[in-house]
Amino acid sequence: MHALTQKIASLSIGAMALGFLLALSQLLWLPQLNLIWLLPLLFMATVTVYLGKSHPTALSFIVAFCLAGCYGLCIALSAKSRQLQVIPPSSVTVVVKVTNLPILTTDKVKFSAKVISNSADLNIKKILINWYANQQTIKAGQLWRFELKLRPIHGISNPGTFDYSKWLFRHGYDATATVKSAQMLKEEVRDLGSIIQHYRYEIAQIIDQQLSTARVKGLIKALTIGDKSQISVADAQLFQDTGTAHLIAISGLHIGLIAFLGILLARLVFFIFANEKFNRAKIESIFAISFALIYALMAGLSVSTLRALIMVVVFSIAHINKQALTQWQSWSIALLLVLLIDPFSVLDIGFWFSFTAVAVLIFAFNGRIKQQTKIQTFIKAQWLILLGLYPLMAMVFQRFNILTPIVNFMVLPLASLLLIPCIFLAFFVYIFSVKTAHYFFVVVEKLTEILFVILDYMQQFKFLSISLNPIGKLGLFLMLLSAVIMLLPVFFHRRILLIFLLVPLLFYKKSGIEAGAYNAYVLDVGQGLAVVIKTAKHSLIYDTGAKYESGFSMASAVVIP
């Protein structure tokens, strides 16, 4: 009876999580919300009472779907109502507090700011400020009075390219601005957020002092404080080509690793000071959560780190109560909490990849007899994640990178077992002795250079990243079906045959352009338009947009995709 009750509870929690996910996924269609789906909500709500007695799982799904639909809609409408809709006729005097580490370029400094007050009585709370020809030092926690030229959030609108306006909306920006004049009111506001940002700034300064190579500095700042602004366009492309972009985005991989280091330290403490009064599982969980929390604070409690921190907390609690929570329940609770705390998470690609990757590993390893070594398990996990994420990669990137598991097999042990622990050891030693810590930073620099040597070499095999033509619903169904079956153990001996299901997707192409006809595409490239004319055998491009000193160009971001 207890086992049956636990199974029903597990299914109910999973149904609630999926109901929330399905309803909040409507936010993916912003700025046009599809409100037609609210009609079936009313119908489902009327049968909830009837289904509740005999179908608790269906009840959980419907209730969660209804609640999440209303919740997501209210949050989205509230955020939309704060956004600036029209450009003010003149500059606006705004008092703001700098809330993050500034991003410095050759011609400007960019930073986010919390609005304290403004002369136009606008209902804006958070703005992204660009300050050109700035000669003053901007730090998080400072209080400024600016004369700003405010603009509504706007991005380049082209299908299949990065949606900047949706990114601004997702991160809570209500407007963008450029500085006309400025006056500092207070050097530092002492609150929790400012204190965190102050220490992040100090860590960035230590990295600049202790490391000599700009390339290394950029990666170490990304791994420690989540600042990716100093990673060059070329290096960003390097990580993309080799399938290791997850290394420079602090997420579940990094938070999980630091939590694991906390567990190892807890085991060492428990071994040295063994006492039957203390519960080993509780001590390990406390250390794991503490280490993960410290790392998340170092990264500025960004969206991805907060999501990963929640997952660590839930799985740590599950580790303490082994009989109370299954792995699927832990996954479902983590998903529910993330969506409740941050419903706009569904707009992050990382959200879908992280939860899908964990789900794939649970599905593939849960309940299986372990007859493999840790190295074999690690290798298997890389290939399983690639298979499980294949449909998602095809939908989002329209690419399938075979190079990913190969490079990760070489790079992940280096990064997780050597580089990241060395980084934190260097900072720990720095507290007591700057001179001694310098030797650890030398090791960090050498390890990072070895990492780049491996990635630079593997980039020449980027042809293993297969481009997929746009596929329809049938192609998506085939990919999902093949991925699920490939992960099932019952099909282990014949799963290779499923590859033939996917072969048509590699060669599928939409009907081409007939002889004598042409297609014309007009693309937004910022301050102008690009025109692409395609015939059966030729393509003509007029205007490719601007190219910037950082290496970013509208041609690579807009025209080529």
Region of poorest pLDDT, from 24-28, 156-160, 351-355 = 156-160
Name the domain count of the chain. Answer: 5
Task: List pLDDT tens digits, range 121-130.
Answer: 888 999 999 9
Domain CATH code at residue 96: 2.40.50
Whether the pLDDT of residue 185 is over 50: the answer is yes
Which residues form the domain of 453? 233-325+402-467
Bridge partners of 144, per DSSP, are 96, 184
Residue 442's pLDDT is 94
- In a domain, residue 524? The reply is yes
- In a domain, residue 345? The reply is no
449 and 309 both lie in a single domain = yes
Task: Measure the CA–CA gap between 148 and 90, rounded to whole angstroms.
Answer: 9
Cβ neighbours, 10 Å, residue 390:
19
The answer to whether 212 touches 318, Cβ cutoff 8 Å, is no
- In a domain, residue 50? The reply is yes
Cβ-Cβ contacts under 8 Å for 201 (sequence gap 6 or more): 101, 139, 140
100 and 176 both lie in a single domain = yes
- In a domain, residue 512? The reply is no
448 and 533 both lie in a single domain = no
309 and 448 both lie in a single domain = yes
Region of poorest pLDDT, from 83-87, 471-475, 548-552 = 548-552
Residue 502's pLDDT is 58
99 and 133 both lie in a single domain = yes
**DSSP three-state, residue 228:** coil
- In a domain, residue 367? The reply is no
71 and 123 both lie in a single domain = no
326: left (phi over 0), alpha (psi -120 to 50) or beta: beta
DSSP-derived letter for residue 322 is T
More confident residue, 5 or 20: 20
Owner of token pair 């109901």: 19
109 and 133 both lie in a single domain = yes
CA geometry: angle 11, 13, 19, nearest 5 deg: 100
- In a domain, residue 354? The reply is no
177 and 256 both lie in a single domain = no
E strands in 78-194: 92-98, 103-104, 108-118, 126-132, 143-151, 175-186
- In a domain, residue 348? The reply is no
Whether the pLDDT of residue 2 is over 50: the answer is no
Residue 24's pLDDT is 77
Residues 425, 426, 431, 432, Cα dihedral to 10°: 90
Q: Containing H/E element for 531?
A: strand 529-534
459 and 480 both lie in a single domain = no
Task: List pLDDT tens digits, range 31-52.
Answer: 665 555 555 655 555 555 555 5
Residue 374's pLDDT is 63
74 and 111 both lie in a single domain = no
More confident residue, 209 or 323: 209
Task: Measure the CA–CA gap between 41 and 70, rounded to whole angstroms.
Answer: 10
CA geometry: angle 337, 338, 344, nearest 5 deg: 135
What single letter denotes the amino acid at residue 308? A
**DSSP three-state, residue 122:** coil
The predicted model scores a pTM of 0.78
Whether the pLDDT of residue 440 is over 90: the answer is yes
Return contacts of 512-517, CB within 8 angstroms, 24+ apart: 512/536
Residues in the chain: 561
Task: List pLDDT tens digits, range 47-87.
Answer: 555 555 556 666 666 777 777 777 877 888 888 888 888 88
Q: Containing H/E element for 388?
A: helix 374-396
Residue 4's pLDDT is 44
Residue 125's pLDDT is 92
59 and 18 both lie in a single domain = yes
Owner of token pair 């609770």: 333
Task: List pLDDT tens digits, range 283-314.
Answer: 888 888 888 888 888 887 776 787 778 888 88
Cβ-Cβ contacts under 8 Å for 441 (sequence gap 6 or more): 210, 211, 426
- In a domain, residue 379? The reply is no
44 and 148 both lie in a single domain = no
